[in-house]
Amino acid sequence: MSIYYYLSAFLFCLGLLGITFKKDLISMLLCLELMLGGVALLFILFSKATGFIDAQLMVIFMMIISACEVAIGLSLIIALYRKKQTIYTNDIKILTE
Amino acid sequence: MYLNYLANISRYIPELLLVVLMVGIIILETTYKEDDKNKKYVFITAFIGLVATFVSLMINLSGKSESIFSGSMIIDPFSTVMKMVMVLGALGCFYLSTISSEIYESLKTEFIIMATGILIGGMILASANNMLMMYIGIETLSIISYVMASLKKNDERSSEAGLKYALYGGVSSGIMLFGMSHIFGAIGTIQFSGMAAIVSKLSHNQLLVLLPSFVLFFVGIGYKVAAVPFHMWSPDVYEGSPTPVTTFFAIVPKLAGISALVRVTMIFFSFQSPLRVGWVGLMMAIAALTMTVGNVTAIGQKSVKRMLAYSSISHAGIMIAALTTVNQIGISAVVFYGITYLFMTLVAFYITSIVQDNYGNDHFERFQGLAYRYPFMAIMMAIVMFSLTGLPPLAGFVAKFNIISALVESRYYTLAMVLVLNSVVSAYYYLKIVRLMTLKNQESDEEIEGFGFLNQLIIVSMTVPVIVLGIFWNGIMAVASGAKIFIQ
């Protein structure tokens, strides 16, 4: 059981690190998904360990919502790309001048 | 069972009305042609819908507190009052969106549709009673906010603001879920009600796991409230978004987040436990940091909108400070603060938006000499600025006084001192606007279009509560102290 815990914690941390250090927006979005995937695994794991199925419900909703989030994120990236012709965060900074 | 559900729906009418309103406006909008400028029926429908929601919330307020839908939501006076404040805020923002030139004509109905969606999310969040509902509320709030922040399609700042918001939001909700999963692992249920009993039976080790999980859980809410370590998105998003959207963000998601935080605090930490000590300590540190960082950073800003963004961060800090008391006095103070904050923010943003529409930007210099050109509006702005600082005899003073007295009663003297000192610091940047309006000569003689008779009337009618609540606060204070949290 604990190997799954480490796996999901690893996935979560990998996503968190990726989103902090990656420089292109698509990869950041992928890392975000990785993070949520890790958490979903964790929920299933705890659901199995405790014997309550509430958490499995949570995972289904998480999958739906993260799909929405990625759809919105991608469309925002496209909207920005149309104006700036780039998806690298270094070239985009306007607001924090 | 089914009858139970039907009976529950009668308490859920406000949210259902909003859903009907949202769908109705989507349908209504399709009846207009692409270039039709006159979409007044959409706005009339929206206003009627919101007023109906407000009335049904008032009916709800008189009913007894109960949990509905198998305990997944709670209808209690606290959530209902917070919802009413949110609906009023949305009403103000709807009107601002119709007069603002920052939202393109073709997108004005879209603003209303999305704002209604966010309002539904905020209402779910305000009465969420399990982790799933809280997560759904936060995400409904967030996902639509991302789109709304980038509503100004042709402006790259707006697009960037939306993207930034989306990435920060995704990360923080991920971290929140990580915390939630650990809380579930230790407690074995996602329902808030009854959790308190389980928490009190836990062993020392399990409590040790729980505290970090709660800290992670706080990240998600803290991000919505823009509490300090997680506030980085807020000024950028507030500055990049169109002003009506900024106004909306400063009111609805913030108050929704605060009410979720209040509920979590009251349910999990209203009894003595090692957890409570940790959580109150965390809240205190975050409140002090949020107030201080928000205020100090606001001083150096050139843009009024960005200044108001930072000041709204510090106001969130003040509301969090009241939470550290974890008792009904603190909660009433938060509710009262929320009500006054609504009116003050609305007036400040209305005037800023109208000035900005006229001059094209919102730097402090644009306010120069406003007192000679539009003395009435300048007086209103000055009143609101004094009130935001917390000077008597205005509403802001009473609100801050309530919070300080709640803190003193719980013997949190340091936090009360930090709050008072922060009010002094905030005087600098709030009164800067007053000084510019009165002491400097104006830049140009041109008339500001937005200050028509109707708009002036609306601004004045929103300023009246700021003055009245500073003198006759008893009525609203009674409502605020009646806003009790219902714990099963």
Domains of chain A: residue spans and CATH:
2-92 (1.10.287.3510)
Selection from B383, B407, B409 nearest residue B469 by Cα: B383
What's the CA dihedral at B386, B391, B397, B403 to 10 degrees?
110
For A15, A85, B65, B172, the CA distances from A89, given in Å and listed in that order, are 17, 12, 49, 19
Selection from B235, B90, B257, B105 nearest residue B160 by Cα: B235
**Predicted model pTM:** 0.91
Q: And the tokens for B253?
A: 């998601």
Answer whether B181 sits within 8 Å of A16, measured CB to CB: no
B338: Cα separation from own chain's centroid: 8
Q: For residues A50-54, give the mean pLDDT.
A: 84
Task: Write down the pLDDT at residue B18.
Answer: 92
B124: Cα separation from own chain's centroid: 14
Cβ contacts of B170 on chain A, cutoff 8 Å: 29, 32, 35-36, 69, 73
pLDDT tens-digit profile, chain B (488 residues): 677 777 788 888 899 999 999 999 988 888 877 666 667 788 888 899 999 999 999 988 888 888 888 888 888 888 999 999 999 999 999 988 888 887 777 788 888 999 999 999 999 999 888 889 999 999 999 999 998 888 887 777 888 888 888 888 888 999 999 998 888 888 888 888 777 778 777 777 777 778 888 888 888 888 888 888 888 888 888 888 888 999 999 999 999 999 999 988 888 887 777 788 888 888 899 999 999 988 888 888 888 888 888 888 999 999 999 888 888 888 889 999 999 999 999 999 998 888 888 877 778 777 777 778 888 888 888 899 999 888 888 888 988 998 999 999 888 888 889 999 998 988 888 888 888 888 767 666 667 777 778 888 888 888 888 888 888 888 888 887 877 877 76
Q: Using pLDDT thresholds of 50, 70 and 90, give the confidence band for residue A39.
A: very high
Cβ contacts of A35 on chain B, cutoff 8 Å: 170-171, 174
Residue pairs spanning A and B at CB distance below 8 A? 120
Selection from B114, B20, B13 nearest residue B54 by Cα: B13
Answer whether A54 sits within 8 Å of B189, measured CB to CB: yes
Task: Write down the pLDDT at residue B119.
Answer: 93
Cβ contacts of B107 on chain A, cutoff 8 Å: none
Q: A interface mutation test: which of B177, B192, B193, B195 has the most A CBs within 10 A?
A: B177
Task: Write down the pLDDT at residue B48.
Answer: 92
Task: Write down the pLDDT at residue B189.
Answer: 82
Task: Write down the pLDDT at residue B392.
Answer: 81
What size, in residues, is chain A?
A: 97
Task: Write down the pLDDT at residue B38.
Answer: 64
Q: Which residue of A has its CA nearest to B154?
A: A83
Answer whether B146 sits within 8 Å of A72, measured CB to CB: yes
How crowded is residue A1: how many other Cβ atoms within 10 Å of its Cβ?
A: 7
Task: Write down the pLDDT at residue B118.
Answer: 93
Answer whether B167 sits within 8 Å of A58, measured CB to CB: no
- Please, what is the Cα angle at B248 between A92 and B353, to 5 degrees? 80
Among the partner residues A46, A57, A73, nearest to B181 by beta-carbon distance: A46
Distance CA B103, CA B100 (A): 6
Answer whether B178 sits within 8 Å of A42, measured CB to CB: yes
Q: And the tokens for B54?
A: 């407000």
Selection from B437, B441, B300 nearest residue B382 by Cα: B437
Cβ contacts of B157 on chain A, cutoff 8 Å: 94-95
Contacts from B280-285 at CB under 8 Å and sequence distance 24+? B280/B324, B280/B326, B282/B215, B282/B218, B283/B320, B283/B321, B283/B323, B283/B324, B284/B321, B284/B324, B284/B412, B284/B415
Q: A interface mutation test: which of B130, B158, B160, B306 has the most A CBs within 10 A?
A: B160
Whole-number mean pLDDT of chain B? 85
Answer whether A15 sits within 8 Å of B159, measured CB to CB: no
For B282, B339, B343, B347, the CA distances from B466, given in Å and listed in that order, are 32, 10, 7, 10
Answer whether B181 sits within 8 Å of A65, measured CB to CB: no
Distance CA B268, CA B195 (A): 7
Distance CA B390, CA B431 (A): 11
For B218-233, write each residue's pLDDT tens digit: 888 888 888 888 888 8
B395 and B340 Cβ atoms separated by less than 8 Å: yes
C-alpha gyration radius of chain B = 22
How crowded is residue B431: how many other Cβ atoms within 10 Å of its Cβ?
A: 15
Segments of B66-174 assigned E as strands:
66-68, 73-75
Among the partner residues B169, B174, B181, nearest to A43 by beta-carbon distance: B181
Percent helix, strand, coil in chain A (nearest 5)? 85, 0, 15
Task: Write down the pLDDT at residue A97.
Answer: 46
Q: Which residue of A has its CA nearest to B132?
A: A58
